Copies of this chain bind each other. A is one copy, B any other.
Amino acid sequence: MTQPIDAAQLCADYWSTSIIDIHPGSIRVRGYPIQDLIGQVSFPQMIWLMLRGELPSHAQASLLEAALVASVDHGPQAPSIAISRMATSCGLPLNGAMASAINALDDVHGGAGQQSVELYESIAVLIDGGLALDRAAERGVDAFTEAHGKYLPGFGHRFHPVDPRAGRLLAFVDTQVEAGVIGGRYAAIARGIESLLKARKDRPVPMNIDGVTAVIYAELGFPAELARGVFCLSRAVGILAHAWEQRGRNERNKGPLPRQIPYRYTGEAERQLR
């Protein structure tokens, strides 16, 4: 028999959290009264506090902020953005369009940052074990592609020969390394991979946006999985903006192609039942 006295306690423990403490008239986030944070900390600082438990310095937050700014959108050819627009045309409110779209930021579409951090970390472990950077990059990349297939996340881009976001972001990383905000270890590892790929392919396979934001997340101490989570926060902005632009149009049930263009049927010819 459940003893009556346990139920409230069981429930309290079952839904316990270390993130937020709420009482009538009082909200504290990670210990800070919410009214002390409002107007005092930036949105990226608040994101950091919520995810990590402590407030970052302004310099740390500026790196996170640059990553958040860089990834908001990549246009309607990206499945997440197209889904947002199509869902909106089906009658969904903004929250619903965002949900269908953010859901699609899965392993293939939203997982590259997470996978890049995992790759960098695996190479860092090899270096800690005594390997030189170039050798560690080689071994790490080989192990990664063996385990996950030929797509190496964070390097190369099927559309951009050089990703215009990557160079700018990496330059910003470098200034923060010089300023002592971050150590620079993962920037070096990522560049080591870049060198390896260039040598192997005999052409540049430059770091892309996911490769550089992964450097930032790793330098800042974010666990790999949060690279995906933070990317979702960033891309949510583009998803929302496109849903909103779509709202202003009169399209109903927007499919992927203009109605005038048919798709090809490749299945069974007409046949009769029985």
Residues of chain A whose beta carbon lies under 8 Å from any beta carbon of chain B: 2, 4-8, 10-22, 24-44, 46-47, 50-51, 53, 55, 62, 65-66, 68-70, 72-80, 82-83, 86-87, 89-96, 98-111, 151, 158-162, 164-165, 167-169, 172, 225-226, 228-230, 232-233, 236-238, 240-245, 247, 252-273
Residues of B within 8 Å of A225, CB to CB, are 93-94, 244, 247
B22 touches A245 (CB 8 A): no
CA distance A70 to B46 in the complex (A): 9
A265 touches B18 (CB 8 A): yes
Residues of B within 8 Å of A243, CB to CB, are 229
Residues of B within 8 Å of A165, CB to CB, are 27, 34-35, 38
28 A-B residue pairings within 8 Å (CB atoms): A7-B260, A10-B260, A12-B261, A18-B267, A32-B273, A38-B69, A38-B70, A38-B172, A42-B44, A43-B65, A46-B68, A47-B72, A51-B241, A76-B256, A82-B86, A83-B83, A90-B106, A91-B109, A91-B111, A92-B104, A94-B225, A95-B105, A99-B102, A151-B252, A232-B236, A233-B233, A233-B236, A257-B257
CA distance A270 to B74 in the complex (A): 17
Residues of B within 8 Å of A102, CB to CB, are 95, 98-99, 102, 236
Residues of B within 8 Å of A107, CB to CB, are 90-91, 93
A77 touches B31 (CB 8 A): no
Chain A to chain B: the 7 pairs with minimum beta-carbon distance, closest first: A18-B267, A31-B268, A91-B107, A99-B103, A7-B7, A91-B108, A256-B256
When A79-B255, A273-B40 are in contact, do A94 and B267 touch as well, CB less than 8 Å?
no
A21 touches B98 (CB 8 A): no
Q: Give the residue of B28, B168, B244 whose beta carbon is less than 8 angstroms from that of A270.
A: B28
When A8-B7, A24-B160, A98-B232 are in contact, do A167 and B73 touch as well, CB less than 8 Å?
no
Residues of B within 8 Å of A100, CB to CB, are 83, 87, 99-101, 103-104
